[in-house]
A and B are shown apart, each in its own frame.
Chain A
Amino acid sequence: MEMSLPPTVLIARNLTQRVAIANTGLTILSEVSLEIKSGQSVAVIGVSGSGKSTLLGLLAGLDVPTSGEVVLFGHHLNQLDEDGRAQVRGQHVGFVFQSFQLLPSLTALENVLLPLEIRGDDDPAGKARAYLERVGLENRETHYPNQLSGGEQQRVAIARAFVTNPSILFADEPTGNLDNATGEKIIDLLFELNREQATTLVMVTHDEHLASRCERAIKLEAGRITDDYLVD
């Protein structure tokens, strides 16, 4: 019996990122290449400063590399301008951040509504409510971020990330600002939704335990991939 292989959704070729700091060049990423298949969950692990957040920024099209290229859902990100990349992000990409990145002047519901409104979806409120309910915050719709606990804020962020049914989700240390128990619950929620929507997941973490819940792990050291393996 032969299974058709899932398509490759993300390709990175020879990514190198250099920055100029105090007149000397600092290489943050060096010749990183990788491919990620649709539906795969991938952890990018490494110690602080190993370049994992930089890699995430490049893969998601938030930044452009010094050299090398990123192809996301067939879009050559380097060849697009910033607005072109923004449209790709709006169409395909969801984000969850370590510091939640909720807009402080918006309520929980409005934060979830935001990506739908930007995209111009029909009945954004209905969808947003459904997702808030899905993450267990149906009673917190009108609360502002500073009235929510860290865990609750991250749940709002997760609802915001999934509400557009993204094809790929980038998570940057999603539990970094949370205590262990809360973090565990957040991760459970993240993987649940990921499975339900068959989203591709790219998660940056320094937590080996968290990485072990993904199907595949890529290890970065000083800007180079030193290991790339399937978990168990």
Chain B
Amino acid sequence: MKLIRLAGLFARREARSGEFRILAFALVLAVATTTTISLFSDRLGRALLAQSAELIGGDLVLRSSRPPDREWLDFALEFGLQTTQLAEFGTVLMSNDKILLASVKAAGAGYPLRGQPRVADTRYGNDYAVSKRPDKGEVWADRRVIDRLGITLGETISIGVKTFTVTRVLTFEPDRGSNFFNLSPRVLMNHDDLDETKVVQPGSRVRYSYLYAGENVKSFADWLAPQLGPGQKLIDIRSDKGGTSKALNNADRYLRLIALMAVLLASVAIAVTAQGYSERQFDVSAMLRCLGATQKTIMHLYLIQMLLLALLAGVVGCLLGWYVHLVLLSLLEELIPSRLPVAGVKPLLTGFVTGFIILWGMVLPPILKLKQVPPLRVIRRNLLPLTLSAWTVYSVALSALLLLVVLLSREIWLTLLIFSAVGVLILLLAALVYGLLRLRVNISGFRHSLAGRGMATLARRARSNSGQIIAFAVTMMLMLVIAQLRTELLGNWQNQLPEDAPNNFAFNILPQEVEQFEQFLDQRSISREPVYPMVRGRLMAINDRLLKPGGVDPVGNDESINRELNLTWSPTIPDDNRIIDGAWWESQNAQKDVVSVEAELAKRLNIKLGDRLVFNIAGVQRQFSVRSLRTVQWENFSPNFYMILPPGALDGLPVTYITSFRLEEMQRSLLIDLVSQFPSVTVLEVDVIIQQIRTILRQVTSAVELMLVFVLLTGFLVLMAAVQSSLGERLREGALMRALGARRRFIALNNLMEFGMLGLLSGVLAVLGAEMINTYIYGRLFRMDRELVIWIWFALPFAAAIVIAGVGYLVTRKAVTQSPKSILAQYSG
């Protein structure tokens, strides 16, 4: 108790010293950064997830090819979940003697769970959101149904043996997910009417879905997953293959990576400061020993002080973090969903605990040294404590970093891999720096030049300077990695969905109409994608392996074999497709029995180069051997195909054509002309979906950019800490030199050049390191191509030299402005 009081007294007195303040400040910043980022990413992430949930209609969806166990719907209530069910099937609609093949969705009670369908009250009227399903006996139909059947609202259509009144125009269904590519006209009906239609009979092809929403979907999914049978699967927001979920996944990874890097940087700042703080406490510790304090007393004194510091930094940092996250949210008001989920306690706890972990890892080892300070130091100033073994220091620091990784990262092994790569890199850098500084540059011209003098000064303090260079290099390296990743990621996302992305799909274009159709669009300067032929075919077998829909073969569960795939042919590979294995066909005259398969599908179905694929196309069996695997940008709203064949391969089979094009708002009315001129052509408007995706991308972008500010701040803190740590020594030297008659200009220039060389060196190392890490991250983590940005290799080292020289000069300018006497009085001991 007495010790705690004494430690409190000490802490209060120490709080007046600059070092203690930097330590406290760095710690507060680390805690605040973690808290802010945790809170922000937690809440925004949950909001974004909620938006993504709209795309699949719930937080968790059970898909099944046969009626799932009713208990799976009821039991979810025990988990406190909301539920509803859907049944989707293709059927023939009839009205006024016209018939139309359409896709019908029957929505159960509670629909919609996530998101809202949008409807309009007239064919071309403005749409609005509703939170219900059609009443019994009513259906909502999309414009295609209305146009093709030639009905108006209020008229009736038949589904099976039951007649329904069409009451609204369906313009958007939240739960279409990545399936918006589904090409049939759509109708939404009430699930309670389903039995009366008598459409669904044993053996009918129906897609059953149970939708779940609520806090506990994860534990419910854990309960449900092991019970699934063949032909059944669970889909959550993250397993949806749509563009937004991929963007969201990348964003989440990226935000967490940023948080980790910011904390890592803060740790570097704290480690640097703690080192200096500890060294300055040698005298204090020796004096305390002289005055009779035991080693235990001294340790307790410092440990309690550190605990108090962590506590204080924890509270202040959490408060600050809370406040900053609110500021961030208010800055993003326009973009962020207005009703954000309430923040959990976990982000605050994460921030709070971070402070303790950093202290343990970065501050404890140098503090432990204080125990070893020999009391004789009061007489002999040069006596240093026995240093802890490097093993101890690094293992403690490493264990702290590991803890942080576990705390902040969701992909622990991957992150650990990156961190060990960074670790190895740091060791390499350390060796390189030390070697460089020891190298005497013996060219006489260089030696006496300003840069040479800077180098010489650097080399003189090789040990402390190599520490600083590494700190700067690592800081800049991490910042560079993050900045480049950001540019690439955002660029990538934006490229996938450019401003002029097609917003209409046209399909069922008849072969004889293709030319006219192209002319129609081109004459009105409507930008469009190429027109692709499309043949529907079912994949029957891979080599001799027969694929049975819903079979026990895990492959049998794949959606791609439960439905017909779109096949096309093309002499050239589509613009944004990329061959990852095998080769594209060279000429028109090449083999006709080959196929290029989309890579992810190939992976799921275990299709290899050279495999023989058997298709059933309009009742005819055709075989193709796999010539290449290629990646496809599914999110770009151009026609995309799992299977591409060489021209001529599908000759003689029934074919229609497909394309996508962009209509500006004011060109909307052209659709009416288009539909009347090409009555067989079906047009699918995807504006709403594009808007939805675009909003999410914009939010993600802003969030990412704001997070970057933190990394910049912590990076700057490292810079300050490192410069500050050598401040006393530099000031004393400067004062001594001035006392010995050196001119101010000389000293100022010396400092400037030393810091400049320091910046240049660390900049070069940072670029080297960043290149290595980037290569790894792009290849393994994000699986993206990247372009080398050559100018950065030169710009960064020079920018670093200038900035670090500037900051160094500002901080050490005391050395030339204050009188040598007062500096010596303050900094000599």
A104 to B112, CA, bound (A): 70
Q: In the complex the two chains form, is A57's CB within 8 Å of B376's CB?
A: yes
Q: Is B13 an interface residue (CB 8 A)?
A: yes
| Interface pair A90/B291, CB less than 8 Å apart | yes
Asked if B16 contacts A105 (CB within 8 A), the reply is: yes
B292 within 8 A of A: yes
B296 within 8 A of A: yes
Q: Is B829 a contact partner of A115 (Cβ separation < 8 A)?
A: no
Tell yes or no: B483 within 8 A of A by CB: no
The reply to whether A103 and B293 form a contact with Cβ atoms under 8 Å apart is no
Q: State how many angstroms separate the Cβ of A18 from the closest Cβ of chain B.
A: 15
By a CB distance below 8 angstroms, the chain B residues around A114 are 287-288, 291
CA A119 to CA B2, docked complex, whole Å: 10
Residues of B within 8 A of A120 (CB): 2
CB-defined interface of B252-282 with A at 8 Å, one 1/0 digit per residue?
A: 0000000000000000000000000000000
Interface flags, B370-389, vs A, CB<8A=1, else 0: 00001110111100000000
Q: Which residues of the other chain, B, contact A118 by a CB distance below 8 angstroms?
A: 6, 288, 291-293, 297
Stretch at the interface among A35-43, A91-99, A126-134, A221-229: A91-99
* CB within 8 Å for A86 and B293 given contacts A101-B287, A105-B13: yes
Per the bound structure, the CA–CA distance linking A120 and B14 in Å amounts to: 20
Bound state CA distance, A30 and B762, in angstroms? Answer: 52
Known contacts: A110-B13, A118-B6. The answer to whether A103 contacts B290 by CB under 8 A is: no
Query: What is the CA–CA distance of A117 and B296 in the complex, to the nearest angstrom?
Result: 15
Does A87 have its Cβ within 8 Å of any Cβ on chain B?
yes
Closest to B17 in A: A105
| B140-194 CB contacts (< 8 Å) to partner A | none
Asked if B662 is at the interface (CB within 8 A of a chain A CB), the reply is no
Specify which chain A residues have a CB less than 8 angstroms from the CB of B294 in the assembled complex.
83, 86-87
CA distance A87 to B6 in the complex (A): 18
Considering the complex, give the chain B residue whose CB is closest to the CB of A56: B379
Closest A residue by C-beta to B284: A103
- In chain B, residues 379-417, which have Cβ atoms closer than 8 Å to a Cβ of chain A? 379-381
- Please state if A63 and B378 are interface contacts (CB–CB under 8 Å): no
Whether the pair A103, B283 counts as a contact (CB closer than 8 A) is: yes
- Expressed in whole angstroms, the Cα–Cα distance for A99 and B283 within the complex equals 12
Determine which of B2, B292, B376, B378 lies in contact with A86 in the assembled complex, contact meaning CB atoms within 8 Å: B292
B570 proximal to A (CB < 8 A): no
Interface bits B790-829 vs A (CB < 8 Å: 1, else 0): 0000000000000000000000000000000000011001
Tell me which residues across on chain A come within 8 A of B591, comparing CB atoms: none
How far in angstroms is the closest Cβ of chain B from A51?
A: 12
Kindly provide the distance from the CB of B610 to the nearest chain A CB, expressed in whole angstroms. Answer: 73
The dominant DSSP class at the A interface is: helix
Q: Which residues of B contact A89 (CB under 8 A)?
A: 289-292, 375
Least Cβ–Cβ distance between A6 and chain B, in angstroms:
25
Q: Is the CB of B379 within 8 A of A86?
A: no
Contacts of A104 in B (CB 8 A): 17, 826, 829
Complex Cα gap A114–B298 (Å): 13
In the assembled complex, A62 has its CB within 8 A of some CB on chain B: yes
In this complex, the member of A57, A87, A103 whose beta carbon has the largest number of chain B beta carbons within 10 angstroms is A103
Question: Interface SS of chain B: helix, strand, loop or mixed?
Answer: helix
Across the two chains, which residue of chain B brings its CB closest to A99?
B829
Q: Is A208 an interface position by the 8 A CB rule?
A: no
Interface string of A151-176 (1 = CB under 8 A from B): 00000000000000000000010000
Q: Which residues of A contact B375 (CB under 8 A)?
A: 62-63, 82, 86, 89
B 1-40 to A, binary, CB cutoff 8 A, 1 in contact else 0: 0100010010001101100000000000000000000000
Cβ of B527 under 8 Å from chain A: no
Q: Please name all residues of chain B whose beta carbon is closer than 8 Å to the beta carbon of A172 when the two chains form the complex.
A: 379
- Are B291 and A62 within 8 A (Cβ)? no
Question: Is B636 on the interface with A (CB-CB < 8 A)?
Answer: no
Contact A87 B292 (CB under 8 A): yes
Interface residues of A in 63-110 (CB under 8 A from B): 63, 82-83, 86-91, 93, 95, 97, 99, 101, 103-106, 110
What is the size category of the interface that chain B forms with chain A? 20 to 34
**Cβ contact within 8 Å between A62 and B9:** no
Residue interface bits A201-231, CB-to-B below 8 A is 1, else 0: 0000000000000000000000000000000
A53 CB-CB contact with B under 8 Å: yes
From A57, A83, A91, contact of B379 by CB (8 A): A57
Interface: A146 (CB within 8 A): yes
Cα separation A110 to B12 with both chains bound (whole Å): 12
Q: Does B701 lie at the interface of the complex (its beta carbon under 8 Å from any beta carbon of A)?
A: no
**B702 interface hit (Cβ, 8 Å):** no
Q: Are the C-beta atoms of A115 and B13 separated by less than 8 Å?
A: no
> A36 to B828, alpha carbons, bound, how many Å?
35
- In Å, the complex CA distance between A106 and B291 comes to 15
Cα–Cα distance between A82 and B296 once the two chains are bound (Å): 11
Tell yes or no: B295 within 8 A of A by CB.
Answer: yes
Contacts A83-B296, A120-B2 known; A62 to B287 CB distance under 8 Å? no
Q: A90 and B292: CB pair below 8 A?
A: yes
Partner of A63, one of B9, B13, B374, B826: B374
Interface centre among B378, B380, B825 (most CB of A within 10 A): B378
A53/B379 contact (C-beta < 8 A), A87-B292, A114-B291, A117-B9 known = yes
Contact A62 B378 (CB under 8 A): yes
Contact of B14 among A56, A101, A105 (CB under 8 A): A105
Q: Which of B758-782 contact A (CB under 8 A)?
A: none
Chain A hits for B374, CB < 8 A: 62-63
User: B residues within 8 A CB of A101?
Assistant: 283, 287, 290, 378
Q: How far is the CB of A75 from chain B (nearest CB, A)?
A: 13
Considering only CB atoms, which chain B residue lies closest to A53 in the complex? B379
**In the assembled complex, which residues on chain A have CB atoms less than 8 Å from the CB atom of B829?**
99, 104
Binary per-residue interface labels of chain A (163-206) against chain B in the complex, 1 for a CB within 8 Å, 0 otherwise:
00000000010000000000000000000000000000000000
**Chain A residues, Cβ within 8 Å of B9:** 117
Given A103-B287, A117-B9, A146-B825, does the pair A95, B292 have CB atoms closer than 8 Å? no
Query: With A and B bound together, what is the CA distance between A87 and B13 in angstroms?
Result: 25
**Nearest-CB residue, chain A, relative to B15:** A105
Closest chain-A Cβ to B312's Cβ sits at a distance in Å of 18
Q: Is the CB of A119 within 8 A of B292?
A: yes
How many Å lie between the Cα of A53 and that of B379 in the bound state?
Answer: 7
Query: How near does chain B come to A95, taking the closest CB pair, in angstroms?
Result: 6
- Tell me if B376 and A63 are in contact (CB < 8 A): yes
Residues of B within 8 A of A95 (CB): 290-291, 378
Which chain B positions have C-beta within 8 A of A117?
6, 9
Taken together as a complex, chains A and B put the C-alpha atoms of A226 and B62 apart, in Å, by: 99
In the complex, what residues of B have CB within 8 A of residue A93's CB?
A: 292
A103 CA / B9 CA spacing, docked (Å): 14
With beta carbons under 8 angstroms apart, the residue of A56, A63, A90, A97 that contacts B293 is A90
Contact A62 B292 (CB under 8 A): no
Pairwise interchain contact A146-B290, C-beta atoms closer than 8 A: no
CA distance A104 to B289 in the complex (A): 17
Complex interface: chain B residues within 8 A of A86 (CB): 289, 292-295, 375
Interfacial residues, chain B to chain A (CB-CB below 8 A) = 2, 6, 9, 13-14, 16-17, 283-284, 287-297, 374-376, 378-381, 825-826, 829
Contact sample, A vs B, 9 pairs, CB 8 Å cutoff: A56-B379, A57-B376, A62-B374, A63-B374, A83-B296, A88-B292, A105-B14, A105-B16, A115-B292
Which chain A residues have a beta carbon within 8 Å of chain B's beta carbons?
A: 53, 56-57, 62-63, 82-83, 86-91, 93, 95, 97, 99, 101, 103-106, 110, 114-115, 117-120, 146, 172
What are the 4 closest A-B residue pairs judged by CB atoms, nearest first?
A90-B292, A83-B294, A115-B291, A105-B17
Additional 4 contacts, C-beta under 8 A, given A62-B375, A101-B283, A119-B292: A53-B380, A93-B292, A105-B14, A146-B825
